[in-house]
Structure 1
């Protein structure tokens, strides 16, 4: 920690109990800040006692300077959540000093706003003990901040009058906090994921199904070593899940069985979702069809009866639609899910009909045609237990992040796009929507988008995601390969055969965009190092970096992806922020400097895009450039977001979303730099010969905060 940071930490005081009776002579800004911190703490304690949730939990006091007379100057207050997250901040002055006579003075507001911007806060306030004014930070640089609340705390002109009004100040301050908390809660809800409730309901249904079947399946597996080996093989091949399934370790055995059953339930849940989508969209298609409403016997204790009802419905969907066999036929772990009860006890405890009926209700309760997000892809990732998700490096990429990267990478209707690690297919779906919006046809769009996935079911899921991206269109044939990305190379002939096209398809020689979220798998867990080394050895035209043995998987993805990009093509990845400060990041940055114009490196001070992951992430925006002079003359833009992306961009499905994202990208990468931009802070670094490792920054004006928080 720097000396400056230690100074700030020492000067930041969280209220722990300040005497309520103070001599008049000590009435300065710090004293009044102590009062307000005390009142905030009392309010929090009262709410805790009443069992109420409190968003504004505490007020931290920061004293900035002490003059030669010992007077505290520029004292401010910052509100924190129960976990210490910053919520809002404000400036405090006494009413008798020039800066405090008018609580709305421009100087006071400017100081408060500057600090709120630096911290990425949506609200700030000014206070002079007599009054408090609350302001909402504007959404864009062209807009003005709005005063949204004003409270009379006490009818005083001088701070010496304040003790007589202490109780009134407490009451009015509490009311001010109540209203502020309501506004902050509204910001939290401003645009939650449109699928959050649906995903939770589907997840809970899947969890219930796996719990219902777990004991029967554990009994069945423990009695059949050959079946255990078969399930192990299927888990590795379809889901890249390294299960041991050892009944001698009962706790781990049960944990792995439950996870495997979740995978199996998800397979069927995906089919239920597709059936529901086709039920809505079938009558609207060019060649219309209808499906019968699907019902299940909620009181059934017969797993095979439930399975027969599902199989009958899925067979109907295939016959009526004339397509979607690839989505409805795969059945990994489905046989396990519908294991029959053995004996009277298991039969009495079997509630298979109830479990599957509840999942069907969750599917039926969502309006699938009106939802733009890749719900099925998100669901696939949230059903993986956290410990296994860290092991597999699987984390769902938020839609706002996906759309920013796709918008940067895909610029024309004819662009060829590659995602080298498709996961649930979110990037493929976004690329499809982007190309269609730019004017490409359904079939042309699918022919231009390529995906690669090492896990069998994820590859199948990505195929279904693409094939059903527009359920009003006739089905076409996505280019999704079940392959290790490091086994691919430009021009390679694949196993894919498309009706109407002679022979097997070959991978394009060069792509316009490589986009995605490569896995964050530690070098210790990589099982394909030989494949990686062999692939990079064939990338003869690249100046390969000399990574250390501790390099994570995403670094190799970046290097290998470079050989797939044409001159001027773009790479847009979510990667670990570790590349900016780790030893292994240095050779990577130099590699980027030799092959790309590094257009932007984006992070956020107000949200973590992968809150469950062990690492923070950044967005890496690159443009392939073969000319040395052009690369070295480039200016890298380091962008730090001050607003959650959900507050910067319109909601998914909004008519103006695409234009808004394009405009935001233009502002980030090419627009003029405004230190008071409420959305972001931008610093420029000359790329030079080493990818910007020599940090010669352009002069962007003063920092908004004097301290390093």
Structure 2
């Protein structure tokens, strides 16, 4: 007996889903649906299956409420529920049956559409909901897994039909997704879905590294250059590293394509479409490189975006090398081509780039998403003039720099795009976040020339005073490169990576990159600030402080969001002593109500400093220890536009700075201490936060945890603090 065909598998699966749905409707009388079935269309081998759901009725079958197309993983149309052929087919069938709501579902991801919105100007307005399964399916046989069937039957279907019931009964207005949310969903489903470029590349990297020693070495070297931690001999660790590599390579190449489409809308560039002759990874990459060069020539701009790093060309060719990669990329390009880039505001395009990496995936890249609210507060403290020169030494996807762009614009709306961009510097060791930061800044104004973000993909600990920070095309002759040196900075801001000291490689370990070792970084910090002796047990973020601060001008500002581990007596006193000797410690802010890192286990603090050589000024400075009791968004209040966002951050800054004595209300508590008193009394900064906590716990209704990592016995802190500081 011959094996079942794909069509037979599809019919069998839809029949099972229909049975599950009917049982759900029977057990849930609150749902307005009574039955479901499968209807056939067409003849012979072209017969297509349509899943239908009917309204509940006392007798007989009710009105058709929903119809849609189901495509299984492993099929060409099962890549994405946003496949345009699939969506168009489902729409035409819904029209033929006069059914308002229809869906497309590749089992991993369901998209719901409203046919009455089909004439809407923007494609995203037609989609009224998305429901991911939350599990990865790559082939037909995955559907035989009992855990998959259970997830669909017991979780996915009840969740979807409950939500759809509210729409059908008009208890809830069908939500319209924000444009960037919809575009990101379309992009991600084509890139990371079944048979998409990420999974094709992941399989290729796993197979090629297993069978080719030279490729395995090249891949491991590429990973190590980005400071990734993995164990080649641990199967799970290696699988995770390969998945991370596949995503990084695919995301960078896809962003180059997306930016081409955005530039094309303004410059009449040719359509991006793989020719038949581009039938190998090398030929396909040659085609893309030629297209990207045409964009650079047509605009006289954007070379850093289209050609981010010579090392990335190896990664780009790898991203095209999976068994079905070229076909997957063609599907992606076709989907993106549907976007009306000319009508997309640059702000929205920038948000799209920024959201391309989800919070869950940021963790894989060693990145922590930084909420814009706290970024705006830090920037309000540190960026005091529109012409400020600003550095983020570990910029990730560019949140601090993008918000700094708007901060500077708020201070002087007469500044040109080039004036705003040219004063912003960013560095990140990982290629995808660094490329994303470049895109985010370039997307602020795509129609203008001389739009060269000063973002570099490199290890910040290799940056030195007077040495080139990055290279940009010469404005008068784009064939020449101009070396850019970091100027004296007015502000250093950022959220440096959180890597615990035991995860920083040592020089003695096999296969490590020298400039990423603990010994190299420690020596770099000592040379950056002679006399500073950090503990060798310091987490990596502590080394960023002196190395970044060496570029600050006198009276320059410094604002970091970091783990609050440096407040701990174990290794934080060397840093605290350095702060007291070289800076006005303006404010240290922490939140009781919300974590500012996505990993809630990591307690965080904002530190605001101003470089100051005058001991008298430092001694007289008032240090503000701020503890937020409510979410920052609530404290800042409602803000409808960019101007209001900046003004709200400025108001909070002004409130903190004008406070001269201890104060408390239902939103925050501020304790104030002269800086010289910290010396005289031998108080550590951690001790001040311990006192904050005691004060908070004494207030009615306080539910703060008792195991705060910066608290402990106050008397012991005071003794140890005096010993270390004095």
Q: Place the TM-score, normalised by the shorter chain, in its bin.
A: 0.5 to 0.7
> Does 2:422 align with 1:447?
yes
Residue 652 of structure 2 aligns to a residue in which SS?
helix
Partner Cα distance (1:566, 1:384) in 2:
36
1:95 alignment partner in structure 2: none
- More RCO (CA 8 Å, sep 6+): 1
Structure 1, unmatched stretches of 5+, are 1-48, 53-189, 283-288
> Does 2:411 align with 1:411?
no
Partner Cα distance (2:481, 2:318) in 1:
38
Structure 2, unmatched stretches of 5+, are 1-26, 31-174, 505-515, 705-726
Partner Cα distance (1:595, 1:533) in 2:
19
Per-residue deviation, residues 142-191 of structure 1 (Å, max 9, x unmatched): xxxxxxxxxxxxxxxxxxxxxxxxxxxxxxxxxxxxxxxxxxxxxxxx9x
Per-residue deviation, residues 125-150 of structure 1 (Å, max 9, x unmatched): xxxxxxxxxxxxxxxxxxxxxxxxxx
> Does 2:511 align with 1:534?
no
Change in 2 beyond 3 A, CA 1:646/1:362: farther
> Does 2:467 align with 1:492?
yes
Normalised TM-score (structure 1): 0.61
1:618 alignment partner, one of 596, 605, 608: 605
Deviation at 1:620, TM superposition (A): 0.9
Residue 655 of structure 1 aligns to a residue in which SS?
helix
> Does 2:501 align with 1:523?
yes
Change in 2 beyond 3 A, CA 1:486/1:259: closer
Deviation at 1:411, TM superposition (A): 0.8
Q: Which moved more, 1:427-436 or 1:324-333?
A: 324-333
1:325 alignment partner, one of 275, 297, 303: 303
2:353 alignment partner in structure 1: 376
Deviation at 1:484, TM superposition (A): 3.2
Normalised TM-score (structure 2): 0.59
1:211 alignment partner, one of 199, 208, 211: 199
1:568 alignment partner in structure 2: 555
Partner Cα distance (1:380, 1:525) in 2:
24
Per-residue deviation, residues 506-556 of structure 1 (Å, max 9, x unmatched): 64563211111111111222233333333333345x552x43332111112
Per-residue deviation, residues 539-596 of structure 1 (Å, max 9, x unmatched): 45x552x433321111121122332222221100011122223421233222211211
Deviation at 1:266, TM superposition (A): 0.2
Change in 2 beyond 3 A, CA 1:494/1:636: closer
2:224 alignment partner in structure 1: 236
Contact 2:498 2:540 in 1 (8 A): yes
Change in 2 beyond 3 A, CA 1:548/1:215: closer
2:127 alignment partner in structure 1: none
Deviation at 1:463, TM superposition (A): 3.6
Change in 2 beyond 3 A, CA 1:595/1:204: farther
Map residues 116-195 of structure 1 onto 2, 5 A cutoff.
Answer: none
Change in 2 beyond 3 A, CA 1:244/1:552: closer
1:420 alignment partner in structure 2: 393
2:642 alignment partner in structure 1: 654
Per-residue deviation, residues 368-423 of structure 1 (Å, max 9, x unmatched): 5242865434534747474x44xxx4212222222222221111122221222222
Contact 2:622 2:675 in 1 (8 A): yes
Partner Cα distance (2:446, 2:643) in 1:
19
Change in 2 beyond 3 A, CA 1:577/1:365: farther
Map residues 523-602 of structure 1 onto 2, 5 A cutoff.
Answer: 523-526=501-504, 527-539=516-528, 543-544=531-532, 546-602=533-589
Partner Cα distance (1:245, 1:655) in 2:
50
Residue 643 of structure 2 aligns to a residue in which SS?
coil
Change in 2 beyond 3 A, CA 1:664/1:273: farther
1:77 alignment partner in structure 2: none
1:261 alignment partner, one of 241, 246, 268: 246
2:453 alignment partner in structure 1: 478
Q: How many residues are treated as equivalent by the alignment?
A: 502
> Does 2:700 align with 1:705?
yes
Partner Cα distance (2:235, 2:282) in 1:
27
Partner Cα distance (1:339, 1:550) in 2:
42
